Structure 1
Amino acid sequence: MLQTMLEKEYGIKVDGSIQLDSYEALRGNGWLYFPATAEHYQEEDLIELGKIAEHLRNFGDRHVPVFVPTKEGKYLTTWENKNYCVLASRQTERRNSMKLGRKLAKFHERGRRIPFLIERSKRIGQWKELWVKRLEQMEKVWNGLLFQTPEDEFERMFVESFPYYLGLTENAIQFLVDTEIDDDPTEVDNGTVCHERFSKKSWGQEFLLKNPFDWVFDHRSRDLAEWTRERYFYNIQTYEPEVKRFFEEYQSIAPLSSFSWKLLYARIMFPLHYFECVEQYYLTRSEQNKKLLEEQLMKILRQSKEYERFLGNFFYLVGAPVKKFNLSIPEWLYTVR
């Protein structure tokens, strides 16, 4: 079906297909083509992502794909009542044992040199607004449950635990606001190409592939914080050496400013893991998923003291220049270090 789409809409003859991680690629003309569903995108979104991808390639990133226009010169095409976009790459490379910290720093350095205005994928400067909105929505749900008998174990845990996470979120928001008021951004704090949620698997598991549909334009600390969060929760017993090494690698290319460190800390303090667990519970209709999320919330609450210790020790773990930049943490966290 997609082979026919490539021939009719793009004028591309395909001579086979190959599976690369979770992507099915079609081969033709010495290229690999990746047809992607683009239901939530408009032509303007894809034009902007295409310009970002072109900029990154021009600055030497061989693993960023090309956006392929249709025969009519559009990036978005409708085929069998679905919207598609096609990406293409000349080569694929096995990930092997690359130094991800260094690679990400180079990616960010290329991204912050973008010479045009980013509008549609921009997230920089919006954290406070998004966090406050999310907090208010959850507080509204919590208030509605306060004077009722909990329907199940999840609801009981949520009602009892929310005040604590409300406080943690307010701390994160205040830390962010204080940083934006008291600290001056430097050149390293310019917006750059980041990812919605950067993790160890973002650039593929076996093959190195950088997916433009993961990209947002934001402060580099977004990627650093989300990678750290994912590694911490992957295994709260063994994360330390990997996190330490990652930050050493990153800073060998791009040392962080005082502003960067503080923004990074505010984002790690924001309890995204708790918000996502609760939000998913109230969105899902699957009883099986609800049971899994109940177990997940139980685990989050059980590990809350450990998370406090992680926050209390973070700057020392990653070798941040605490004295040089006068980096401090909320006073109550000093007691759990």
Structure 2
Amino acid sequence: MDSQSLKSQFDIEWEQPVKIGRYNGVYSQGVLYIMVPIQNWEETELVELYKMSNHLYAHGDQTVARFKQARNGSFIGKYQEEPYVVLYNEHLRVFNTSKMGRKLAKFHHRGRLFEERVEHISRIGQWKELWEKRLDQMEKVYHGKVFSQPDDEFDLEFIHSFPYFMALAENAIQYLVDTELDDDPTDVDAGTVCYRKFSISNWGGEVFIKNPFDWTFDHAGRDLSEWTREHYWNQRRTYETGVHQFFQEYQSINVLSSFSWRLTYARLIFPLHYFECIEDYYLANSEHNRKLQEEKLQAILRGTQDYELFLARFYELAEAPVRTLKIPSLGWV
């Protein structure tokens, strides 16, 4: 991106370039602008993101990045024949990691007030299908490795460990299916703006900003489970207090239903961390990246018993009203 393109198409003066996550940006007259390539996005998806970002901002979330209109009235610019959009935010602030539960609950509450139909970026009700597809793909890779009889250390560890994690994934799918069959959603289970994969890094960095291109539309349990998963792996020895505090804070805004607790738990059972490690290794484009995934897999395999213990204690740590709401646990944890 160059200064002439931004000036001619979006009337933005190039002052101070900056990197925001994986995107290029620029500060200009106290406003942060972020340039987002959109080659892989459908127009219908962009429209939904645009509407959701405007909705959240209108309902008081000043950390949301909105779409900037170009001089010609469109929201899409072109640089070297490639389309892009510009996001902007004029309320710049430093991210504070305190009270993450309340912050996420407020974000979800505002997202539930979005009344327009979301079709193209929605993942509501699709977890079972997506998990089964991911599991099937991984199983094909597994059988291919078994058939080729490799001697590579990572391949061997994958072959030895996959049956265990396949069983874990099948348990997650069954827990999800039972939840959808036996339990009834309440108002708090309505679809909301979520992250494709929520991480504290989505909100951290140089400035506290919420990028619509990180979003999807889903059940809040998606973000609750992914925050919990990340916190567990980052704070292996001290995660208990953080999990307890996070759900206490979250429920000061949004009280979770039985359906919410069970969806959150199902997602924690599904071994996404393992699947991503295997996928990232085989897709890695450098020896350095492969080495990182090798180390990650070693940590995951060493921690299987600890993660089982975490799953066994999750409802207790989060103070879920298991007896009152008659929330079932896994029989083997």
1:174 partner letter = Q
Could you say which residue in structure 1 is the equivalent of 2:189?
A: 189
The 10-residue stretch of structure 1 (82-91 or 170-179) with the greater mean CA deviation from structure 2: 82-91
Kept in 1, the 8 Å contact 2:7–2:14? The answer is no
Instruction: Give the deviation of 1:150 after TM superposition.
Output: 2.1
Instruction: List aligned pairs for 1:208-287, cutoff 5 A.
Output: 208-287=208-287
Counterpart of 2:150 in 1: which secondary structure? coil
- 1: distance between equivalents of 2:262 and 2:309? 18
For 2:313, the equivalent position in structure 1 comes to: 313
Q: How far 1:241 sits from its partner (Å)?
A: 1.2
Deviation for aligned residue 1:29: 5.7
Deviates more, 1:285-294 or 1:185-194: 285-294
Checking the alignment, whether the CA contact within 8 Å between 1:43 and 1:75 is kept in structure 2 is no
Change (3 A) 1:141 1:58: same
SS of equivalent to 2:164 = helix
1:299 Cα offset (Å)? 1.7
1:197–1:215 CA distance, 2 compared to 1 (3 A): same
Q: Please state how far the C-alpha of 1:33 moved relative to its aligned partner.
A: 1.9
1-structure distance, mates of 2:9, 2:205: 31
Distance 1:78 1:151 in 2: 48
Q: Deviations over 1:178-228 (max 9, x none)?
A: 000000000100000000111122112342111111000000000000011
- Judge conservation of contact 2:37–2:85 (CA < 8 Å) in 1: yes
Aligned partners of 2:207, 2:221: CA distance in 1, in Å? 25
Distance 2:12 2:328 in 1: 59
Q: In the superposition, relative to structure 1, how do residues 206 and 290 fare at CA in structure 2: closer, same or farther (>3 Å)?
A: closer
How far does residue 31 in structure 1 lie from its aligned partner after superposition? 3.2
Shift of 1:18: 5.5
The answer on whether the counterparts of 1:17 and 1:24 sit within 8 Å (CA) in structure 2 is: no
Show the counterpart of 1:53: 53
Mapped to 2, the partners of 1:29 and 1:66 lie a distance apart of 17
Partner of 1:16: 15
For 1:201, the equivalent position in structure 2 comes to: 201
**1:65-116 alpha-carbon deviations (Å, 9 max, x no partner):** 2211222322222211332110111220122354111111011011011111
Residue of structure 1 equivalent to 2:172 = 172
Report the residue type matching 1:16 in the other structure: E
RMSD: 1.7
Q: Structure 2 stretches of 5 or more lacking a match?
A: none
Q: Partners in 2 of 1:249 and 1:240 — Cα distance?
A: 14
Q: Percent identity?
A: 49
1:66/1:294 CA distance change after superposition, 3 Å: closer
Q: Are residue 87 (structure 1) and residue 99 (structure 2) matched?
A: no
Q: Cα distance, 1:146 vs. partner?
A: 2.4
- CA offset at residue 328 of structure 1? 2.2
2:332 partner SS: helix
TM-score by length of 2: 0.94
Give the secondary structure class of the aligned counterpart of 1:331. Answer: coil
What SS does the corresponding residue of 1:253 show, helix, strand or coil?
Answer: coil
Please give the TM-score of this superposition, normalised by the length of structure 1.
0.93
In structure 2, the partner of 1:2 is 2
SS of residue in 2 equivalent to 1:83 = strand
Change (3 A) 1:13 1:172: closer
Write the distance in 2 (CA, Å) between the matches of 1:122 and 1:24: 27
Secondary structure at the aligned position of 2:125 is classed as coil
Q: Is the partner of 2:323 in helix, strand or coil?
A: coil
Shift of 1:326: 1.2
Matched AA of 1:14: E
Does the Cα contact within 8 Å between 2:193 and 2:218 map onto a contact in 1? Answer: yes
SS in 1 for 2:201: coil
Q: Residue 33 of structure 2 contacts residue 86 of structure 2 at CA under 8 Å; is this kept in 1? A: yes
Pick which of 262-271 and 150-159 moved more.
150-159
Contact kept, 8 Å, 2:3 with 2:14, in 1: the verdict is no
Change (3 A) 1:44 1:5: farther
